[in-house]
Amino acid sequence: MNNYFKMSALAVVVAASLTGCNDTPVKQEAIAKEQRTLTSDDAKIFLDKVAKELVALNLESSRAEWIYQNFITEDTAALSSTTNQKATEASVAYAVAAARFDQIDVTPTQRRQLNFLKQSLVIPAPQDSKKSAELAEIGAKLGSIYGKGTYTTKSGETLSLGDMTAKMATSRDYEELLDLWQGWRQISVPMKELYTRQTQLANEGANGLGYKDLGAMWRSNYDMPADDFGKELNRLWGQVKPLYDDLHCYVRSELSQTYGEDKVALDKPIPAHLLGNMWAQSWGNIYDLVAPKNADPGYDITKQLAVHQYDEVKMVKGAEAFFTSLGFDALPETFWQRSLFTKPKDRDVICHASAWDLDAKNDIRIKMCIQRTGEEFSTIHHELGHNFYQRAYQDQPVFFQNSANDGFHEAIGDTIALSVTPKYLKEIGLIDSIPDQSKDIGLLMKMALEKIAFIPFGLMVDQWRWQVFSGEVTPENYNTAWWELREKYQGVAAPIVRNANAFDPGAKYHVPANTPYSRYFLAHIQQFEFHRALCKIAGNKDPIHRCSIYNSKEAGQALNTMLEMGSSQPWQQAYKVLTGNEQMDATAILDYFAPLHTWLKAKNQGKQCGF
């Protein structure tokens, strides 16, 4: 995860005349007159002033949030809330002010910066103070419903989402899984009316910024026409779908053997509660049910970390050494002084792994309650990927201190994690020998259950929301449309008949939190193409799933050239720097998983696939 508070934390420096929300006809006429007299010089003055204030507020917001997440008290929560409110109000003011230059002839760089201010809002408030307050109140209520959600089981045990998630990861009891699955979805029923009203208000806010609806506004943030972006995602999905279909067929067959064909029919979608995850978005927790025979690679990274006396700091030092082997400068001393590596015994902290950039210069940190496991070792490489990206673009103007598009940041972290291969582990002395290629199928299966299984889910969440925002899907059809899309893309179905008045989308955090989801789909596509490109630059001769770019200065230089661009250019230009192409290409995924795909096809011979 990448916690950076760049464009969500915007300073209030717009003049009072620009921040008023109740536009009268007289005021609207004045605004129109002002727009006719604005010039490129006015845009420069406005953007220069915004840039200075952004630097200050970004630092203020980042510090407040860091303190809150590392020292959770009522006081630190209040400080965080205050700075977030200030940022939200400023975001609206800046977006409205930037929109007044829409018809003004400005330089390409100025236009990019102005668009950035407009599009930095995820949920734009209407230019009406009462409606703006209502929208903020709805957002708080939705967050509270989700955050406080619990379920009391039939046996009387009250469980949090974390409790239920842990049980679903390990339970193989059909009825227990069904109870947990149903139970969590009870919390989202009260969200439906609130979400409906929120959509109306957010669409009104998007209209005020010149967009036909909120979905069009979100899709406009990708350096291409909004309608083309949706088509591009479906094109990429079409490239991956054959691999996903074979994975789905194999997994369904194995689950049918475990639970019986009466519960997992071989010609229907997979019941959503049986895939080891509350949302069936990734399937890694059921690896034990579908693992290939004799797929044990012969080593356990967690055990090897213990053998070689890796503590939490040594694990981070090891990951840092990966980046310095590529030619990146070592992390600053403040990183080691200010990061959180272990869970304190004397206070509550938010342990979710995250990377931080507090001052847009050298104050970069990670926050993790590190466990000494192989999975966490890989996660540390991922998080440092964010930090090195943040430092690479520090010399860009504040508007461009971000990834090329919102998928890049996650993709870069995951790209680095793809190099944590047996070859790399041997080079750093964690294992003694590299398993032969017969062991690759198990490693690839584990990764496919996490990454390939996720891709259609990563696509359909926003597909549903865009249809909601456009009005194509109306409130009475929210739930029906949700499950139609899940069956269409994932081949996953609700295990029981769902009431049309239910609101199952709300059971997924990113929906009530209004976090755009296409970024995760993009990251899953981009990371493999970045990895393939870097392996080629590094002169790799192995299959790309065995490649590590460790110690390649050539790969490091190419990567840094792209990272330094930040968001200063259309993402296609950043993409071309590394891959040679301006269009994303999902065939890198097919290359990476080629041995597994061949294996799956053989296993699926004679089976009825499809859903």
> Of residues 273, 382, 545, 597, which has the active-site annotation?
382
Residue with tokens 């940190």: 365
Verify whether residue 427 is a known catalytic residue. Answer: no
> Of residues 248, 381, 386, 524, which has the active-site annotation?
386
Which 8-state DSSP code applies to residue 340? B
Tokens encoding 103: 């018809």
> Of residues 410, 523, 533, 545, which has the active-site annotation?
410
Verify whether residue 151 is a known catalytic residue. Answer: no
- Look at residue 152 and give its three-state secondary structure: strand
Facing residues of 355 across strands?
A: 2, 366
Verify whether residue 157 is a known catalytic residue. Answer: no
Residue 501's φ and ψ, nearest 5 degrees, are -85, -5
Which 8-state DSSP code applies to residue 107? -
Q: Could you tell me the end-to-end alpha-carbon distance of the chain, in angstroms, rounded to an integer? A: 33
> Of residues 510, 513, 564, 594, which has the active-site annotation?
510
CA pair distance 77, 71, nearest whole angstrom: 9
Closest by CA position to 97, among listed 196, 21, 173 = 21
- Look at residue 159 and give its three-state secondary structure: strand
CA pair distance 257, 484, nearest whole angstrom: 26
Verify whether residue 175 is a known catalytic residue. Answer: no
> Of residues 65, 383, 487, 529, which has the active-site annotation?
383
Verify whether residue 352 is a known catalytic residue. Answer: yes
Verify whether residue 353 is a known catalytic residue. Answer: yes
Q: Which helix (H) or strand (E) holds 270?
A: strand 270-271
> Of residues 30, 169, 352, 602, which has the active-site annotation?
352
> Of residues 353, 481, 513, 594, which has the active-site annotation?
353
Verify whether residue 98 is a known catalytic residue. Answer: no
As a 3-state breakdown, the chain gives helix, strand, coil percent values, each rounded to 5, of 60, 5, 35
Residues 194/136, Cβ–Cβ less than 8 Å: no
Which 8-state DSSP code applies to residue 395? T
> Of residues 393, 520, 575, 592, which has the active-site annotation?
520
Chain-centroid distance of CA 521 in Å reads 8
Helix 226-259 vs helix 518-537: crossing angle, to nearest 10 = 90
CA pair distance 27, 149, nearest whole angstrom: 45
CA pair distance 186, 506, nearest whole angstrom: 10
List Cα–Cα distances, 331 to 352, 387, 413, 540, 578, in angstroms: 21, 9, 16, 27, 24
Verify whether residue 381 is a known catalytic residue. Answer: no
Catalytic residues: 352-353, 382-383, 386, 410, 510, 520
